[in-house]
Structure 1
Amino acid sequence: MIGKVLVTGASGFVGEALVFRLLLDRKWIPIAALRSSSRLQGLCPIAYFDLTKIDALPPMNEVSVVVHAAARVHVMKETSEDALQEFRKINVQGTLRLAKHAAASGVKRFVFVSSIKVNGEKTDRDKPFTADDVPVPADPYALSKFEAEEQLRFLSQETGMEVVIIRPPLVYGPGVKANFLNMLRWIHRGLPLPLGSIDNRRSLVSIGNLVDLLVTCIDHPAAAGNTFLVSDGEDVSTSELLRSLASAFGKKVVLIPVPFTVLSLAAFILRKQAISRRLGESLQVDINKNRKLLDWVPRIPAERSMRQTARHYMEKNTK
């Protein structure tokens, strides 16, 4: 009998990609848990679900695994007076409510999509985070994800439901939004960028490689009880990333060599420190644990994923 996998956040970037992958593999029956209609309707079973509502838990009849990708994501312009409380309502309390329901329904495994921000905001160059480092969450979003991880581990001990935690860094691919979409816009418009002097190292993960690890963790025996980091296995500097994207567009990007100290000062004045850190600081992850425990390595080269991302952007934004 083919098992059922409930995917929350199924209308989002990660969740939707996972559902499509499961549909193609035909090893599992995906159930898309989402708040409203999506293009998945008619392709797979749908379960309406809202993390913010106590009585809006999805049915889990015969569900073997839950992959929980729904969350209140990192907010660049936070408007709440108590941001941590808002993140906790969804990312901690909502997640725990869902997980308890899963355990009570006989779900065998709960795969939680967390965030690399649980490890911290940056690394020293060539000293990557590992999955077993002591967490150092620095903002409300990261803290809520860390607290959810801790609660899930306690629940696993109490109920026996297996928990797997995956902490992605920046995820990109066709249809990506947020900061990566901004970079695509900069390059497509041919804007000169003052980023030519940045010599950092960043780990990224394509949506294809992230989904591949999620699928592996659905049923791999060694995944149970473990935390994994994930990346493409090809760390790049911000300037290298921009050049790679420009090449995928068939363009050249003009990178002006402005010292990072100057950029940091300008970002401070403009209150854009978070963007400055992401562009200028290093954040690397070590994925050797994935290979050792799961025999998993990234299967899609970053260059191919960059081309696919750029091609999709061009198709959507060129008349």
Structure 2
Amino acid sequence: MIVTITGASGFIGTNLIAFLQQKGYIINSLSLKHQNWKNIFPLSGDAIIHLAGKAHDTENTSDPEEYFIVNTDLTIELFNEFLRSESRDFFYFSSVKAVVDSIEGVLDENISPNPLTPYGKSKLKAERYILDADVPVGKRVFIIRPCMVHGPGNKGNLNLLYKIVEKGLPWPLAAFENRRSFLSIDNLSFIIARMLDYKNISSGIYHLADDKSLSTNELIQTVNLALDKKPKLWRLSKKVIENIAGLGDRFRLPLNSERLKKLTESYVVSNLKIKSALGIEKLPLSAEEGLVKTIKSFRKEK
């Protein structure tokens, strides 16, 4: 099977390509940065996986219009080329942030989207164009909404937790009660490979997440487990922590309001629809196993 992938040099792209190549897939990398990419890289093969996009800027310094140029307009151009091509499948990697920025309860595919950021709005606008299109018979179109993806080579907010635990510092946010979904790159790659192989999976929107959500305190305990350390959980006043995060906004400290929100908010994502479509009860890696693998990779990268 021949698969064309955009955003091939990114974290998800490099890991997904390695996974698919091990299974015998032939990969074509398509760079959308070339102005004449349609002529330079003619689309061919069985499937197109569109990973390229402008990521959410947590510093809020990006021009909002850039999100729509990259995440919406370029996606529409690529999708229209797919419709004219002989490729069978189109995977658009959107995000759960195209749905809502915060959620009470569990997020599934039935929710009515209401994103607040330019990032989420640009992703949703592309989704709606794709879902409203007249897709030829024989083609499948998937909207993939992953939650926070992690794995070796991608540190993100997990790196902050790693540094705190590695240095033997206590975790001062234990007073915040929450639950949050994560997605290991191994589970993501497994799901995409199965969707490529299983021809009976219907087009539609699919949320991707590990089987179990974790609280931040459980996450800290998992990081300690990966580093063979005992967890140090401090239940400091929430108000004090929020004030410190406010200072982080002004002076660019490691802990700012955006990062505090990411570390302590609840954001639980259901993966029941995709598992039902794949006919499986659980994903290859548990949430804890995937996180331990990621955390241990940080030490090797030093």
The equivalent residue for 1:266 is: 244
Aligned equivalents of 1:226, 1:141: Cα separation in 2: 21
The equivalent residue for 2:26 is: 29
Aligned equivalents of 1:267, 1:253: Cα separation in 2: 22
- After superposition, residues 241-260 of structure 1 pair within 5 angstroms as 241-260=219-238
Post-superposition offset of 1:159 = 4.5
CA contact (8 A) 1:111 1:218 kept: no
1:283 partnered with 2:264: no
Post-superposition offset of 1:310 = 2.2
CA contact (8 A) 1:230 1:287 kept: yes
Q: Secondary structure at the match of 1:223?
A: coil
Aligned equivalents of 2:240, 2:116: Cα separation in 1: 24
How many residues align? The count is: 293
CA contact (8 A) 1:111 1:163 kept: yes
1:96 partnered with 2:76: yes
Post-superposition offset of 1:169 = 0.8
1:178 partnered with 2:156: yes
The equivalent residue for 1:70 is: 52
**Equivalent residue letter for 1:139:** T
Q: Secondary structure at the match of 2:241?
A: helix
Matching residue within 37, 45, 49 for 1:56: 37
CA contact (8 A) 2:171 2:220 kept: no
Matching residue within 96, 105, 125 for 2:85: 105
Aligned equivalents of 1:133, 1:222: Cα separation in 2: 24
Q: 1:20 to 1:194 in 2, by over 3 A?
A: same
CA contact (8 A) 1:164 1:217 kept: no
Q: 1:90 to 1:61 in 2, by over 3 A?
A: closer
Aligned equivalents of 2:268, 2:20: Cα separation in 1: 29
CA contact (8 A) 1:260 1:280 kept: no
Post-superposition offset of 1:61 = 5.2
Post-superposition offset of 1:90 = 0.7
Matching residue within 6, 9, 30 for 1:8: 6
**Equivalent residue letter for 1:312:** S
Q: Secondary structure at the match of 1:63?
A: coil
CA contact (8 A) 1:60 1:105 kept: no
CA contact (8 A) 1:231 1:298 kept: no
CA contact (8 A) 2:4 2:43 kept: no
Post-superposition offset of 1:273 = 2.2
Q: Which runs of 5+ in 2 are unaligned?
A: 250-255
- After superposition, residues 106-121 of structure 1 pair within 5 angstroms as 106-121=86-101
TM-score by length of 1: 0.85
Q: Which runs of 5+ in 1 are unaligned?
A: 34-48
CA contact (8 A) 1:111 1:217 kept: no
Aligned equivalents of 1:216, 1:152: Cα separation in 2: 22
Q: 1:159 to 1:264 in 2, by over 3 A?
A: farther
- After superposition, residues 125-204 of structure 1 pair within 5 angstroms as 127-155=105-133, 157-160=134-137, 161-204=139-182
The equivalent residue for 2:293 is: 308
Q: 1:310 to 1:269 in 2, by over 3 A?
A: closer
Post-superposition offset of 1:261 = 4.0
Aligned equivalents of 2:239, 2:203: Cα separation in 1: 42
Post-superposition offset of 1:16 = 1.0
Post-superposition offset of 1:304 = 2.3
Percent identity reads: 27
1:292 partnered with 2:276: yes
Aligned equivalents of 1:262, 1:69: Cα separation in 2: 39
**Equivalent residue letter for 2:181:** S
CA contact (8 A) 1:222 1:294 kept: no
Aligned equivalents of 2:143, 2:5: Cα separation in 1: 15
TM-score by length of 2: 0.90
Aligned equivalents of 1:17, 1:106: Cα separation in 2: 26
Aligned equivalents of 1:261, 1:207: Cα separation in 2: 35
Aligned equivalents of 1:204, 1:169: Cα separation in 2: 6
Q: 1:219 to 1:164 in 2, by over 3 A?
A: farther
Aligned equivalents of 1:251, 1:54: Cα separation in 2: 51
The equivalent residue for 1:44 is: none
Q: Secondary structure at the match of 2:48?
A: strand
Aligned equivalents of 1:120, 1:206: Cα separation in 2: 21
**Equivalent residue letter for 2:36:** D
The equivalent residue for 1:37 is: none
CA contact (8 A) 1:6 1:67 kept: yes
CA contact (8 A) 2:43 2:82 kept: no
